[in-house]
Homo-oligomer: A and B are copies of this chain.
Amino acid sequence: MRTHTHQEFEAELRNLKDRLLAMGGRCEQMIAMAVRAFEDRDEALAQEVMEADHGMDEDEVAIDELAVRILALRQPVGRDLRFAVAAVKASTDLERIGDEAVNIAERAIEMEPAGRLSRPGSKLPEMAQRAGAMLRDALNAFVEEDANKARDVFEQDDAVDDLYGEVMGLCLDDMKDPSRIADGMRICNCAKYIERIADHATNIAEMVIFMVEGRDVRHGNL
């Protein structure tokens, strides 16, 4: 009987991990779609991103409910307890990554119709690709409970910050032409949204270390 219950508990934890990974996969897809919509001025694709966001909201609720269920019925201790608590915090980050993808899609729809992105805008796909990779690595570290993998994520954040600075500089330059102000601001905003996605991935990586090592590296020393 004890073993049976233990197996059930393991299955529930596995289910929680699978849901986090699935939600993360949907985030990555939304980011990629939103940035492609921005690049190609593809309004239909932007609309798809906004529709996909409803699924994210459901994912967050489902993850939280599963974690609360595990806490209530299994009353885990130590690392498993920290895992369940970290999961409800990570679901918030994932849901907000979805919101950032929607923000990008909204700016995509507002952009002036034109053939190609201007110079600052052309940096966005690279930024998005890097932020997406950070998210994937952070979630893998999370479900594998691998603190070293989590630390790798922190290092990747610098490259995204650098790209953000580049985009901002190029935009301010572009916007000296008044006809480019509105689009310049949209590009700046998208760069900011992507930078925030990278921050959310970093938050998830920090959770991994809290979970695995039982100490809190947020806001400080690694």
Contact = CB atoms under 8 A, between A and B. Distances in A.
A218 B72 contact: no
Contact of A77 (B67, B72, B216): B72
A78 B92 CA distance: 21
A92 B96 CA distance: 12
A68 B88 contact: no
Interface stretch (A7-15, A44-52, A57-65, A132-140): A57-65
Number of copies: 2
Given A75-B75, A182-B172, A219 B85 contact: no
A151 interface: no
Contacts of A78: 72
Interface string A14-35: 0000000000000000000000
Contacts of A72: 77-78, 81
Interface string A194-222: 00000000010000000000001011100
A185 interface: yes
Contacts of A176: 178, 181
